[in-house]
Amino acid sequence: MNLVRSEPLVVKMASSLHRISEKSLRSLREILGPVVVQIIESANVDMELNPVKIYHNWKKEMEVANR
């Protein structure tokens, strides 16, 4: 149950990013920007963040793979 109530990773990342200096943030954008865009534009990437839904989807995939 702790997993469901925990703070999402995206919220933690956003709250820590606002503390970073502008120079560091610019560098981070240059380094990670192209990778993030490539992942977002990928058609086969599931962007679900809800841990319960992620678990259920994983469980379904495992059941299909084991048939």
Task: Kindly tell me if the per-residue pLDDT of 2 is higher than 50.
Answer: no
Cβ-count burial 25-56 (b if 16+ within 10 Å, e if not): eeeeeeeeeeeeeeeeeeeeeeeeeeeeeeee
- Find the angle CA(49)-CA(54)-CA(55) to the nearest 5 degrees: 145
Return the pLDDT at 60: 94
Model pLDDT for residues 42-58, shown as the tens digit of each residue: 878 787 888 999 999 99
Mean pLDDT along residues 1-25: 68
